[in-house]
């Protein structure tokens, strides 16, 4: 095959997408409740996000419509009055740390008072609930006593539902005070989608202001002699409606914030990863936690788990997901730290999305959002099950009827895409939704070969007889996708099996992933030349895939230093790893965590 049969449409372009927020938000949450917008300047909470299956969307409460950019009043802001004098927490320097890579904690000096704060969403056995805690500890380091009003105040100025773009609630915002001194935030329309409840951990003065943007304030008073220390906490809970939110808040008050924090810390320690390199441990764990809590969530109205691209409100893919992103990006990261949840998520994906494997982008509840068939999506269920069994040894998962049904359905869908003459399979679109240049993709068929290996093990004896030999697929990859003369051969990205090929690498389904799917050895000369041809990219998916290639050590060091989008994944970065657009991508953070862990443990890669 001559080089004349190759085509390329590569052009230099400026990345387009959603700009990364100017504010480096602190982020935390649990599977029920997301706190994506904690302001680093004054420790205020600007938004709370929840999943709602009935709405197929996120339901978000905020102080202002432009909360992502930090505009307007906060939904919840700490308030200090020292000896009758109001003190702006943001007037001095606030030092932030991220405990266990997920709990934002801050320290601030207010005169001769030292303030330490922790914001967390309870997590762990008997602690996982739809709520969050704002805990503050004050220490008097001066020589005179102080009387301090410690409070939490806020404004309900905006509510929205969001699939990918926000739609504001049309009913009036409402804040009321219950008979138990709990502040309730919801909308005037009945029935509503969600409500919030806010309360103090002890006796407090409660104030509520009416209007189009109602306000609230809860205040506790403490007196500190020199050297004394006091702790104050406020609870924020969510429910499908106001009574449920107040009930959850009551449970949190009854259990107490200290036991909830202890349980959360203990559970988060179980998520920590170990590679023998401390900086890599922190990097993997940080991205794992982001994927674990922001790509996976439990819907407020049915308590079931769902996988979405990201709960961060500035991620453009929002509450939608492809089978491949869920099963090849998010689930492997979850599997590193929580095999039982990974098992549940695989089966949940089969229940919700398995009726139409690989057919396109879906809403969180499985409804088709954007049609477009991918080989990888159809193969993802077998790939995920095989990888799960290898890592955990739990082969009993194949006894689950919903997985068996999905595997047979996905196998049938793949068989329908096979070429009549060659053991290769057609796709419709690439993994980022673009029409494939030519119908047979290199990455898609490499994944299909891996899936066929899995089908031979996972289907029953009769079904396994009908499975295409994966070795034949891998041999066909070399026959139809290798281009160039001896000593110059590289892999093409797609082909039509009639002599036409394209060399433009698919930035999501890159040729660099071939070793992961066991289509080629990472030391293979053709693969290494392909990796050299592809080189560095502004696409983070390509940079992550380079962890499998000859530049793996260099890429580990690059990722270790890359600021990304305030430490989280973004689809596009500059040469130094600084996010350009589409930040807050939780599923992509999962891919980063899982691939880096694999490169370190399976290939022994270390930073250069």
Question: How many C-beta atoms lie closer than 10 Å to residue 160's C-beta?
Answer: 20
Residue 219, phi then psi, degrees to nearest 5:
-135, 130
With respect to residue 555, please indicate whether it lies within any of the assigned structural domains: yes
Q: What is the pLDDT of residues 128-164, one digit of tens each?
A: 999 999 999 999 999 999 999 999 999 999 999 999 9
Confidence of residue 438 (pLDDT cuts 50, 70, 90): very high
Whether 9 shows a pLDDT value over 70: the answer reads: no
Number of domains in the chain: 2
> Final residue of a domain: which of 269, 292, 322?
269
Q: Do 391 and 437 share a structural domain?
A: yes
308 and 160, same domain (yes or no): no
The pairing of beta strand 494-495 with beta strand 158-162: unpaired
User: Which whole number is the average pLDDT over 524-551?
Assistant: 97
For residue 208, the domain's CATH number is 2.70.98.50
The answer on 291 and 212 residing in a single domain is no
Do residues 384 and 286 share a domain? yes
Question: Average pLDDT of 294-300?
Answer: 98
pLDDT exceeds cutoff 70 at 3: no
Name the strand (E) or helix (H) holding 229.
strand 229-239
Taking the chain, what is the end-to-end CA distance rounded to the nearest angstrom?
A: 38
Single out the residue in 269, 298, 314 at which a domain terminates: 269
The C-alpha atoms of residue 185 and residue 197 are separated, in whole angstroms, by 6
Whether residues 320 and 425 share a domain: the answer is yes
Q: Are residues 312 and 234 in the same domain?
A: no
- DSSP E strands in 329-486: the ranges are 360-363, 368-371, 440-441, 482-483
Given a cut of 60, whether residue 431 has pLDDT beyond it is: yes
Taking residues 530-536, report their average pLDDT.
97
Q: Are residues 361 and 302 in the same domain?
A: yes
Q: Nearest 5 degrees, angle CA 419-CA 425-CA 431?
A: 150
Question: Do 87 and 3 meet the contact criterion of CB atoms below 8 Å apart?
Answer: no
Q: Is residue 31 part of a domain?
A: yes
> What's the whole-number average pLDDT of the chain?
95
pLDDT for the residue numbered 581: 96
Residues 36-48: tens digit of each pLDDT: 999 999 999 999 9
Q: Do 414 and 474 lie in a common domain?
A: yes
In a domain, 21, yes or no: no
Find the mean pLDDT for residues 17-45: 96
Has residue 390 been placed in a domain? yes
| Inside any domain, residue 412 | yes
Average pLDDT rounded to a whole number, residues 103-131: 96
- How far is the C-alpha of 487 from the C-alpha of 475, rounded, in Å? 19
Domain that holds residue 33: 26-269
pLDDT of 13 strictly over 60: no
pTM flag (> 0.75): yes
Token code pair at residue 166 = 């926000």
Domain end residue (candidates: 269, 301, 334): 269
């Amino acid at each position: 095959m001559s080089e004349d049969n190759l085509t390329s449409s590569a052009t230099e372009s400026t990345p387009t997408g959603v700009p990364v927020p100017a504010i480096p938000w602190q982020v935390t949450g649990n599977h029920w409740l997301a706190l994506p917008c904690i302001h680093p300047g004054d420790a205020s909470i600007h938004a709370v996000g929840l999943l709602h299956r009935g709405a197929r969307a996120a339901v978000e409460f905020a102080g202002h419509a432009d909360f992502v950019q930090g505009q307007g009043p906060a939904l919840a802001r700490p308030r200090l009055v020292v000896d009758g004098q109001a003190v702006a927490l943001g007037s001095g320097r606030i030092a932030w740390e991220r405990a266990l890579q997920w709990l934002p904690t801050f320290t601030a000096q207010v005169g001769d008072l030292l303030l330490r704060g922790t914001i967390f969403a309870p997590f762990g056995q008997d602690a996982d609930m739809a709520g969050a805690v704002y805990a503050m500890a004050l220490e008097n380091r001066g020589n005179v006593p102080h009387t301090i009003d410690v409070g939490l105040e806020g404004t309900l100025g905006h509510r929205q539902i969001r699939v990918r773009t926000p739609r504001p609630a049309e009913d009036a915002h409402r804040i009321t005070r219950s008979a138990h001194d709990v502040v309730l935030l919801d909308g005037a329309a009945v029935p509503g989608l969600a409500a919030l409840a806010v309360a103090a951990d002890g006796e407090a003065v409660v104030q509520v202001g009416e209007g189009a943007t109602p306000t609230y304030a809860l205040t506790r008073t403490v007196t500190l002699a020199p050297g004394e220390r006091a702790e104050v906490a406020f609870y924020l809970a969510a429910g499908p409606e106001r009574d449920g939110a107040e009930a959850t808040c009551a449970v949190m008050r009854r259990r107490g914030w200290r036991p909830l924090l202890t349980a959360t810390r203990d559970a988060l320690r179980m998520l920590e990863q170990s590679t023998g390199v401390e900086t890599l441990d922190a990097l993997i764990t940080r991205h794992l936690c982001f994927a674990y809590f922001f790509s996976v969530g439990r819907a407020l109205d049915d308590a079931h788990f769902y996988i979405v691209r990201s709960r961060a409100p500035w991620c453009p893919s929002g509450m939608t997901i492809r089978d491949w992103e869920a099963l090849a990006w998010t689930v492997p990261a979850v599997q590193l730290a929580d095999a039982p949840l990974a098992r549940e998520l695989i089966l949940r994906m089969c229940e919700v999305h398995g009726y139409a494997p690989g057919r396109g982008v879906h809403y969180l509840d499985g409804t088709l959002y954007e049609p477009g068939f991918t080989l990888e999506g159809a193969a993802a269920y077998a790939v995920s099950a095989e990888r799960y069994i290898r890592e955990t040894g739990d082969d009993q998962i194949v006894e689950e009827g919903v997985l068996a049904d999905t595997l047979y359905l996905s196998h049938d869908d793949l068989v329908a895409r096979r070429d009549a003459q060659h053991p290769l399979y057609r796709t419709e679109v690439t993994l980022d939704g673009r029409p494939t240049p030519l119908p047979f993709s290199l990455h898609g068929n490499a994944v299909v070969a891996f899936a066929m290996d899995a089908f031979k093990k996972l289907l029953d004896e009769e079904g396994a007889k009908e499975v295409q030999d994966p070795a034949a697929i891998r041999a066909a990859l070399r026959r139809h996708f290798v281009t160039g003369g001896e000593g110059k051969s590289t892999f093409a990205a797609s082909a039509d099996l009639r002599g036409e090929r394209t060399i433009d690498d698919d930035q999501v389904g890159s040729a660099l992933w071939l070793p992961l799917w066991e289509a080629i050895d990472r030391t293979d000369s053709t693969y290494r030349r392909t990796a050299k041809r592809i080189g560095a990219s502004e696409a983070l998916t390509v940079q992550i895939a380079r962890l499998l290639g000859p530049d793996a050590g260099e890429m580990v060091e690059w990722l270790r230093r890359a600021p990304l989008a305030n430490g989280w994944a973004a689809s596009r970065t500059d040469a130094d790893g600084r996010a350009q657009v589409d930040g807050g991508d939780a599923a992509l953070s999962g891919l980063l965590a899982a691939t880096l862990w694999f490169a370190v443990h399976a290939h022994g890669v270390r930073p250069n």
